[in-house]
Structures are given as structure tokens and as C-alpha cells.
Amino acid sequence: MLLGFDIGGTNLKAGLVDLTGKIVRTDSIPTPDSIIDFRKLSDTLLSRVAAGAQLLGAGIGCPGVINPVDTKVENLPGKMSYLEGFTLSDLVPRWLPEGVSVCADNDARAALAGELMFGSARGKKNVLMLTLGSGVGGAIAVNGALIRGHRGVAGHLGHMTVDPLGAYCLCGNRGCLETVFSARAFEIEAFAAIQRGCDCAMRRLHGDEPHLITCADVFACASEGDPVARAIIERGTRYLGGAIAGLLHLLDSEIVILGGQIAQAGATLFDPIRRDVERRTRRLLGRTVPILATVAGPHAGILGAASLALHAARNQRTRA
Ligand SMILES: [Zn+2]
């Protein structure tokens, strides 16, 4: 069995995965606000998930720049910056049997590794992936290799500038993709609409406590026909479509994979994105690039983290 640990901005998810990529057990908790709580709660979570399992290895996916050699979190702006400087393998419980390797990488890169090994990208060599959650992550495979770049930062697609004069982003830039398309961006837009007094379903839902509105609420209101919620999602989706089209012109990927909590919206998201990207790229690319969901849905991060562990275990065996 493999243990996959997916550290996200909203939830910490852990899962037990067999060697064929089948997820046999999962659990999750809300992401803690401090390193003390992170240590304590992740220890409990991982103990619960891995209890009684014979582990071949453990893998961790974490946002930011992660050194895959020593698993150190080198750069992680935002809510989880408390993890910066920590070595992720030290945060995994001490009860792991001796000899069980712990590896880690950027969460989106791990998710793409999982899709290449077990999922929608099996047999593909040129793949573009975006993880659409509280922020936006990304990963790129070119000619079968996951792109890392000079210092391991490559693939931070959520921090592509899509509006040079747009809102300030947690990364220090302005108008990044995740300032206009992400769960956080949608929640901020919905909060502002409620505060402005817009007559909408979101205000009727959370008028007294607008800070409680969630991305899922915005999608639910939009699917019920609320024009304000629809406009918020449509605006973000157009930015995302434009960004994917630009990336396809740059990379000429065979397929695009969308993961993360917002991708769970299904056709509400995929239909307009497919139409928009097709319109923008058809002439130059001369084909329709498939835009697919992750095979493991909400557990794509767990599967990706587990695939890192399997990859490391196989390498270890090859070296031995
Ligand atoms: Zn940014």
C-alpha cells in the first residue's frame, strides 16, 4: 500500500492507495492555521488513514516550491506560509516503519504524475494540467518529462498575469489568473456583490454573514439561475479559457486536465471552457484539444502523492 498526503489550502486529505492506483481509504480535515495545529492534526489524520496498512512508501503533495530531494518547503506564500523552511518528511508521523521512504513535490506536479501513471494522461507525453481550488496550481509534461524549470518554480500557472492592472495577488504580482479564477476569487466577488446590496440569491443566502459565502454556494446559486452568481463565474471562466488557449499555443499539449474542487462542478465548468478554448485555438492548432477531468476526481491530489511514493520505491528497487 501507498500513503498519499495532499496538503491543500482548504483541506488536508490523506488516502491509502494500492499499487494499481485504486484508492481504498480516505479521510480529510480542514487546513489548520498554525504549524502547531498542522503537526498535531496531520499526525492524527495520517495515523487514522494508515492504521494497520503495510506501507511501501508515503508521498506528499504541497502547494508552493518543494525541493524533491530533501522535501523542504522553499517558498509558500499565503495562508500556509507557516510551512516555509520545514522539511515535509519530518512532519510525517514517526510511526512510519523504518525504511519506508517519504517523498514530496509541488501538489499540482504530483497530481499530474498521478494522472500520467494511473489516470487521464496514461500514454500521453505532452500534457497541461491545472488544479482549480482555493488557488490555482499547474503542471506541465513536455515529451514525457515533468517540467521543473531553473529553481523548481515552473508550472505555477495560477500566477500567470492575465490582467496587468488587476488585483494584487498573494505572490506580490497583480492580476494573476488565481485573482480572477479560483474559489477564493469567486468568494471575494460574491462577498463584494452582497456588500454592495445586489439583489441576488447569494444575498438571500448569506446577507447577514456575507463572509460565510463559499465557492460551492456561488456555483449552486448560478445553477439555479441567479444572474449575479452566473456573471461572477462567467467572468472567471473567460479568463481561464484565455489562459488555457495561450498555454496551448505555447506548449501544443495533447490534452488538458482540470482538477481541484472547482472541477467537480462538471459540465457547468467544462462546457463553456471547451467552447471558449476551441474558439481561441482551432485555427492555429488545427484540432480540438481534449479537456478532461482528473480520473480520481476530488482525490486526484491523494493519487498524485501516492504515485510519487510508488515512483520513488521503484527507483529505490532499481538502484538496489
Ligand atoms: Zn500571483
Which pLDDT value is given to residue 107?
A: 93
Grid coordinates given for 190: 460574491
25 pLDDT higher than 90: yes
Average pLDDT over residues 175-199: 96
Which pLDDT value is given to residue 99?
A: 76
Measuring CA to CA, which residue among 281, 300, 311 is closest to residue 133?
A: 300
Which pLDDT value is given to residue 94?
A: 67
Q: How far is the CA of 77 from the centre of ligand 1 (A)?
A: 9
Q: How far is the CA of 168 from the centre of ligand 1 (A)?
A: 8
The total of other beta-carbon atoms located within 10 Å of residue 254's CB is 16
pLDDT 10s digits, 52-92: 889 999 999 999 999 999 999 999 988 899 999 999 998 87
Q: How far is the CA of 98 from the centre of ligand 1 (A)?
A: 39
Q: How far is the CA of 18 from the centre of ligand 1 (A)?
A: 36
Which pLDDT value is given to residue 316?
A: 74
Measuring CA to CA, which residue among 216, 225, 230, 229 is closest to residue 184?
A: 216
Which pLDDT value is given to residue 10?
A: 86
307 pLDDT higher than 80: yes
Write phi, then psi, for 228 (nearest 5 degrees): -70, -45
Domains identified in the chain and CATH numbers:
2-114+297-319 (3.30.420.40), 124-293 (3.30.420.40)
pLDDT 10s digits, 229-257: 999 999 999 999 999 999 999 999 999 99
pTM assigned to the model: 0.90
Q: How far is the CA of 317 from the centre of ligand 1 (A)?
A: 39
Q: How far is the CA of 243 from the centre of ligand 1 (A)?
A: 14
Measuring CA to CA, which residue among 132, 128, 135, 127 is closest to residue 173?
A: 135
Which pLDDT value is given to residue 319?
A: 63
Q: How far is the CA of 283 from the centre of ligand 1 (A)?
A: 30
Average pLDDT over residues 34-49: 92
**What is the share, in percent, of the chain residues with pLDDT greater than 90?**
84
313 pLDDT higher than 90: no
Lowest mean pLDDT among 108-117, 119-128, 201-210: 201-210
116 pLDDT higher than 90: yes
220 pLDDT higher than 80: yes
Name which residue leads in pLDDT, 87 or 101.
87
pLDDT 10s digits, 262-291: 999 999 999 999 999 999 999 999 999 999
